[in-house]
């Protein structure tokens, strides 16, 4: 695809203004490529120098959010996408267990309580994103 004008950038972005362009430092992206996005008010962000894992981490996040969230929902607009990603990111960072963190969340919102069969209390479940995600808490 040849991008020569700001009309091409607008065609790619649709009706929404592009705020950020995140890209790696590959030589195939020339200065004029970045200038097109800057001219439309976008900030061009580059992955760190000699940090090949930075791109891998970003790609892993995208694969995870697609597989666990976006592939299961019909997104009907930009506002809907923003809300879905905000809810999912909160779940991902505060509730979702991560194997690399010994099945803990990166920023847990509270201590995890292990319930046993001897515990007489109840658990309340709150559905998020139409039941795709669940948030659990102890009942009072």
| Share in percent of the chain as helix, strand, coil (round to 5) | 45, 15, 40
Structure tokens that stand for 67 in this block: 């597989």
Q: What percent of the chain has pLDDT over 70?
A: 81
Return the CA Rg of the chain.
Answer: 20
- Give the pLDDT confidence of 25-34 residue by residue, as tens digits: 888 888 888 8
What's the pLDDT at 1?
A: 43
- Give the pLDDT confidence of 37-51 residue by residue, as tens digits: 888 888 999 888 887
- Helices then strands, counting H and E runs in the chain, come out as 4, 4
What's the pLDDT at 111?
A: 66
Contact 40, 9 (CB under 8 A): yes
């Amino acid at each position: 695809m040849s991008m020569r004008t700001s009309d091409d950038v607008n065609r790619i972005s649709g009706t929404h203004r592009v705020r950020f362009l995140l890209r790696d430092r590959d030589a195939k992206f020339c200065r004029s490529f970045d200038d097109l996005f800057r001219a439309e008010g976008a900030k061009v962000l580059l992955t760190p120098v000699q940090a090949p894992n930075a791109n891998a981490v970003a790609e892993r996040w995208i694969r995870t959010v697609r597989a666990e969230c976006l592939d299961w929902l019909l997104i009907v607009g930009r506002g809907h996408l923003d809300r879905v990603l905000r809810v999912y990111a909160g779940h991902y960072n505060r509730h979702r267990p991560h194997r690399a963190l010994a099945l803990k969340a990166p920023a847990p919102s509270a201590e995890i309580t292990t319930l046993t069969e001897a515990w007489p209390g109840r658990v309340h479940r709150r559905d998020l994103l139409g039941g795709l995600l669940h948030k659990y808490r102890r009942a009072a």
